Amino acid sequence: MSQLLDGLEIGERIGKRIPEAVVEATPQWVVVHPQKLVEVATYLRDDSELNFRFLSGVTAVDHLDHFEVVYHLQSFSPNHMLTLKTRALDHDNPEVPSLVSVWRGAELQEREAYDLMGVRFAGHPDLRRVFLWEGFPGHPLRKDWLEMPGGLSPGLGRFPRED
Amino acid sequence: MTMKSEPFVVNVGPQHPSTHGVFRLRLTMDGEKIVDAEMVVGYLHRSMEKLAEGRTYTQNIPFTDRLDYLSAMSNNLAYCMAVEKLAGIDVPERGQFLRVIMAEFQRIANHAMAIASFAMECGVWFTPLMWMFREREKILDLFEMTCGARLTTNYVRIGGVSFDIPPEFMPAARALLKEMPERIAEYEALLMENEIILARSRDVGVLQPDLAIASSASGPVLRGSGVMWDIRKADPYAAYDRLEFDIPVGTCGDCYDRFLVRMEELRQSVRILEQALDMLPDGPASVNVPLALRPPAGEAYARIEAPKGELGFYLVSDGSPHPHRFHIRSPSYINLTPLRDMVVGLTVPDAVITLGSIDIVLGEVDR
């Protein structure tokens, strides 16, 4: 069984190694400061006990006032996983450092997050749109993206049975 | 006399039979050699992640059918597991076994398609395709008998499955499993030592294990490079912890190894299915779940070993009946990360085989 590592414990370990990196730690995840992200990620990958060599997924979440970028990390040996997060607090111009230099697997996933959510990954070697075309108005997965070209409004209204 | 050459660009796709859909590969060539490759995707982008935010958790299940439309059962399963994790729903034992049975039949159907199209790309025309479609057809018949649909099954539901299996399912499934080892032996006799396949796929598109891990490859692409990693074993879900099977791995990570891994996985799936059909318990197959399910605020990431690799769903709930965020970690898309490294230095026909050996479905790449 793949064990989900305790975020509090890992947060403490990261904090000892890289001061002021951890913003918040809960049993489920660790939130680190974007400026320390590459350093933390390199530590998590290279530490022989943690050994997070596999980046399972990267995604961004729009929390209305800020963006959260979520990394699911997996180690093959020992078999455990960790959810690492970072926050881009400027909602109009979100930017976090790219982790392509640490895990190649972030390359396409960061492009996807940039394309659909508009989070810029500083230091990404090839940050372009991937599904939509260059010049598409806005980033559609953002919660404040409400208008499509041609006056269409995306998404449904409320679920009819909810009342 | 020295010849002066300059690089030129070859577009493979988007409308090209070897790209398995609307995938475009922009190859920069120097003579016959590929010096750079760039993938262009998005022709099938349907903005599923956005659409899902406007619908309820149950209404989103049919979207997952249309991701990897060759293995709809696996997609349903991964999504429903994520919702169940989010809402804390336990699935009855019979439901868990039915999920395993369907997921493994789906794996056989998917690998049959993958191997057959790979053989076609190598130049072994039509016979393997016809042979494998014969078995795939029987599997689709089993799906149709159970849930009424063949491709977009919408079978696995939150809290269980949509229908219990009908009485005629068991005899048909057992008959199919009885003949499968013989059929697989036939495929092996036709393909494993096949001169065309050996000549075309050995030492082509080599993916080193370190690069495979670093670039987040999963499924047969990762295992073909010799990394023993299968979520069914490493992080068992449904009823996989009670079933015995082996994980086949390749040795050198070329196209032939990925093909061998898929071939062996057919056998292992048959082995899992035989056990699962024997162990199938009685009792209810599902629990009742409200239609407008409101999971508590929070987030969940659930993943399965889909036929193409690690398929994960990351859901964020804000306590309303709609997901706040619905993210799909799709194996087809992420397995394309090392494609450039694999094809640079090859020729165009070898690049086509390398792409075929990754086994992508564009519904899942573009989402």
| Nearest in space to B238 (alpha carbons), one of B71, B68, B64, B77 | B77
Q: Note whether residue A141 is domain-resident.
A: no
Q: Note whether residue A134 is domain-resident.
A: no
Total domain count for chain A?
Answer: 1
- Report the CATH number that the domain containing residue A46 is assigned in CATH: 3.30.460.80
Look at A163 and B58; give whichever has higher pLDDT. Answer: B58
Q: Is B334 on the interface with A (CB under 8 A)?
A: yes
- Please write the tens of the pLDDT for every residue from B3-13: 777 888 888 87
Give the closest of B53, B215, B366 to A105, CB-based: B215
**In terms of CA atoms, which chain B residue is nearest residue A58?**
B329
- Please write the tens of the pLDDT for every residue from B169-217: 999 999 999 999 999 999 988 888 888 899 988 888 899 999 999 999 9
Q: What is the largest CA-CA distance in chain B?
A: 81
Tokens at residue B262, please?
A: 């898929």
**Residue A157 pLDDT:** 47
- Preceding amide of B14 cis, omega within 30: yes
Distance (Å) from the alpha carbon of A94 to chain B's nearest alpha carbon = 18
Q: How confident is the model at residue A159 (pLDDT cuts 50, 70, 90)?
A: very low
Q: What percent of chain B has pLDDT over 90?
A: 39
**Alpha-carbon distance B37 to B96, whole Å?**
43
Instruction: Output phi, psi for B218, to 5 deg.
Output: -145, 175
Q: Is A67 on the interface with B (CB under 8 A)?
A: no
The per-residue DSSP string of B251-298 comes to SS-SHHHHHHHHHHHHHHHHHHHHHHHHH---S-S-----TT--PPSE
Q: Note whether residue A101 is domain-resident.
A: no
Q: Say if the Cβ atoms of B337 and A105 lie within 8 Å.
A: yes
Chain B contacts of A54, Cβ < 8 Å? Answer: 213, 216, 229
End-to-end C-alpha distance for chain B, whole angstroms: 52
Chain A contacts of B337, Cβ < 8 Å? Answer: 104-105, 107-108
Q: Note whether residue A147 is domain-resident.
A: no
Quick one: how many helices (H) and strands (E) in chain A?
A: 3, 8
Sorted by where each starts, the structural domains of chain B and their CATH numbers stand as: 8-366 (1.10.645.10)
Q: Is B324 on the interface with A (CB under 8 A)?
A: yes
Q: Say if the Cβ atoms of B49 and A141 lie within 8 Å.
A: yes
Which residue range is the domain that position A48 belongs to?
3-90
Q: How confident is the model at residue A158 (pLDDT cuts 50, 70, 90)?
A: very low
Q: Note whether residue A36 is domain-resident.
A: yes
Q: Is B76 on the interface with A (CB under 8 A)?
A: no
Q: Which residues of B306-344 are buried (b: 16+ CB within 10 A; e: fewer)?
A: bbbbbbbbbbbbeeebbbbbbbbbbbbbbbbbbbbbbbe
Mean pLDDT of chain B: 89
